[in-house]
Structure 1
Amino acid sequence: MNRTRRDRDPQGRARSARPRDGLGRPLPYGAPGVARQPEGVVRTARETVREAQRLLDAGMPFHAHEVFEDAWKSGAEDERDLWQGLAQLAVGLTHAARGNAAGGARLLLRGAERITAHGPAHGIDVSGLAAWARELAVRTEGPVDPAAEAPRLTAP
């Protein structure tokens, strides 16, 4: 049997060492890629929102998803749906930017439903984000510019 060796982190968990582009797609080994978000970073809610917004504005929704993922894994249990929903919005935008309109729309709608069910917290504009996600899900037909489509996480 031919088995390929998997990349592992220091704890032995499978972790791809392949470089990735700004939308999180794997590139060939040795190719220049975009620095990945460190995993397992514990941030305050305010820091999470600020870092995710920076990444969204830079056209890197895949990386923003990783920030939200850290928040749902390390945050309070009663806020897990909020962070998961925000991660789904970021991944939905990632898929839309990659040209996967149907997959992106599904994730945008799922994320909108999840954050709306949670309600507002930490200054996050839940109703505005849900409206943004629903509107983008309906009109996306091909690849979108992730920086141009980046949502505002907080109300102005």
Structure 2
Amino acid sequence: MDRDRDGEGRARSGRPRDGLGRPLPYGAEGVPRQPEGVVRVPGETVREAQRLLDAGMPFHAHEVFEDAWKSGPGGERELWQGLAQLAVGLTHAARGNARGGARLLLRGAARVEGYAAGPGAVTYGVDVAGLVTWARGLAARVAAPGAPVPDASAEAPRLVAFSG
């Protein structure tokens, strides 16, 4: 069988995927993929990622953050990569991979933590300190022996802190 290819001839699986990015059998009903290489302003990135997180699709939110790190200024790369790792950590935890999920949550928290030291502890409206606390708490819960597999939608973080 020939490999699936995208429009430019690169190998890319054409299998549909579920909300957590897991491949489904050919012909199954999947969720639409995130388009790759979309350049957004930071606020659009945060809003789109939050929409996907709220919908229980952290794998897709990770792809939005990946676009931001690839197209944004180099000085922000750690922020966007860390946010992507947080989304992938939630993805793995929700897929039942507690160990991998906890590791990625902690790695993402460490990566974004430096951005919490800035004025107001917020970057592009992102509540970095709140995300670090969320990630470490979820990592501890999913890594506990006998912990239930978390629901991605129920565990979705709030990227932007609500005021008043």
Report the TM-score when normalising by structure 1: 0.95
Q: After the TM superposition, which parts of structure 1 deviate over 6 Å for at least 4 consecutive aligned residues?
A: none
Question: Does residue 67 of the first structure (1) align with residue 69 of the second (2)?
Answer: no
Q: Which stretch shows the higher mean deviation, 119-128 or 105-114?
A: 119-128
Could you tell me how far 1:5 is from its partner in structure 2? 2.0
Aligned-pair CA distance for 1:137:
0.2
Q: CA separation in 2, counterparts of 1:142 and 1:28?
A: 27
Identity of aligned residues (%): 75
Displacement of 1:12 in angstroms is 1.6
Name which of structure 1's ranges 145-154 and 135-144 shifts more when overlaid on structure 2. Answer: 135-144
Query: Which digits, 9 at most, give the CA deviation of each residue in 1:91-114, with x for residues without a partner?
Result: 000001001100000000000000
Does residue 161 of structure 2 align to residue 151 of structure 1? no
Question: What whole-Å deviation, never above 9, does each CA across 1:52-110 have from its counterpart, x for those lacking one?
Answer: 00000010000000000000011111000000000000000000100110000000000
The CA RMSD measured in Å over matched residues stands at 0.9
2:89 to 92, 112, 122: 92
Task: Establish whether residue 138 from structure 1 lines up as the match of residue 144 from structure 2.
Answer: no
Contact 1:100 1:142 in 2 (8 A): no
Q: Distance in 1 between matches of 2:10 and 2:114?
A: 34
Q: What amino acid is aligned across from residue 133 of structure 1 in structure 2?
A: A
- Matched with 1:26 is 23
| In 1: Cα distance, 2:21 partner to 2:76 partner | 26
The correspondence for 1:114, drawn from 111, 116, 122, is 111
Q: How does 1:46-57 map to 2 (within 5 A)?
A: 46-57=43-54
Contact 1:82 1:118 (C-alpha < 8 Å) held by counterparts: yes
